[in-house]
Amino acid sequence: MENLLGVVLCGGESKRMGSDKGLIEKEGKTWAEHVSDKLLSLNMPLAVSIHEQQQEAYSRVFSPDQLIIDSIDIKGPLKGLLSVHKQYPEQDILLMACDLIDMDELTLKNLIDQYRVNNAFDFFVYHENFAEPFCAIYTSRGLKPVFKKAQLHALEKFSFQSILDDGNTLKIPIRNDASFRNYNTIPGHHQDT
């Protein structure tokens, strides 16, 4: 599909969850696999963004050539996106967090349709009060200046919100709020407060 690479972002620390979100199982598959299946159903190549300590565990779930280990010296989840961009500098990236297990196909297809018809934009993101950066498309053209600043240690902010606010971003209204449910606790499990 065009020049679009599907990326499952798994490199977070999952501090609130207490364990690696991407490896939590639902119906016999990890959350990362559920999200990757959604991307693969759209006929695009797949990569899985992880940090070095996750390599052994994720190699048991995914083909090692699908794994991209963080290789950029910056803070936060932007490290994962820019590490993928470093390895595939000409690819546009459809980035999904590994806990977006409720994402529906129509929401993904609408995002891709907007990307196809609005080539004046660099970033494509769902937005309602604030951007949803973990189901969004980041073009190679838009990422190149961000990556260059990161290499020069000139990035002042490491948040996706600042990248999207500063960039040429198409903000798409959310039609299905349930698709953007993300989890900091395992569904159905109750934590003692």
Binned average pLDDT, 10 residues per bin, the chain of 193 residues: 88 61 90 95 95 93 95 90 96 96 94 95 93 95 95 88 93 89 60 38
Number of Cβ within a 10 Å radius of residue 57: 14
Go through 150-164 and write b for each residue having 16 or more CB atoms within 10 A of its CB, e for each that does not.
Answer: beeeebeeeebeebb
What is the pLDDT, as a whole number, of residue 129? Answer: 84
CATH code given to domain 4-180:
3.90.550.10
- Is residue 56 helix, strand or coil? helix
CA–CA distance from 22 to each of 14, 80, 93 (Å)?
9, 14, 19
Domain borders along the chain are 4-180
Rg (CA), the chain: 16
Q: Name the strand (E) or helix (H) holding 40.
A: helix 31-40
Number of Cβ within a 10 Å radius of residue 52: 10
What is the pLDDT, as a whole number, of residue 153? Answer: 87
Contacts (Cβ under 8 Å, ≥6 apart) of 142: 122, 123, 167, 168
How many residues does this entry show for the chain?
A: 193
What is the pLDDT, as a whole number, of residue 169? Answer: 97
What is the pLDDT, as a whole number, of residue 156? Answer: 85
What is the pLDDT, as a whole number, of residue 140? Answer: 97
Q: Name the strand (E) or helix (H) holding 166.
A: helix 160-166
**Predicted TM-score of the model (pTM):** 0.91
